Amino acid sequence: MRGSAGNARNDRKKGHEPAKTRVDLGRKPPQSLRPPRLAGSLRAAGRRLRRVFDIVHACNPPDLFFLIGGFFKLFGKKFVFDHHDINPELYEAKFGRRDFLHRLLLRLEYWTFRTADVSIATNESYRRIAIGRGRMPGGLRLTR
């Protein structure tokens, strides 16, 4: 491109030097990120979270919501899992195999049940899966 501003070689030919940016790696982090202040900020965020909501309600797919539910359980929130789909069986029906991904889906489902305070099953077969694979007979509710 002729006369483009981003071409350093053309700028040097015309007698211009490209701008140099100095990066100061020895600079201190902002006050809010220094360890004592960061700890205080996290405590304040935790106090704020305790007042905003009480329950995290999630449904699948994906079976990764246990990560979110588990995080908020650290702040005293309850995690309700609404079981809509049996992903390991869907994977097996679609791809016709029980491989690493099938086992991973089973583990994710298990961790979701174990993280949940309450699980909502939409029918009797999902209830049996929650009790069998999820090992959660206590906090299980069946809706129809």
Does a cis peptide bond (omega within 30 degrees of 0) precede residue 36?
no
Q: pLDDT tens per residue, the chain (144 residues)?
A: 444 555 556 556 666 665 565 555 566 655 555 555 666 667 777 777 667 788 888 888 778 889 888 988 988 889 999 888 888 999 999 999 999 999 999 999 999 999 999 888 888 888 888 888 888 767 777 676
CA distance 116 to 72: 11
User: If 0-12 CB within 10 Å is exposed, 13-18 middle and 19+ buried, where does residue 85 land?
Assistant: middle
Q: Which pLDDT value is given to residue 1?
A: 46
CA distance 106 to 87: 8
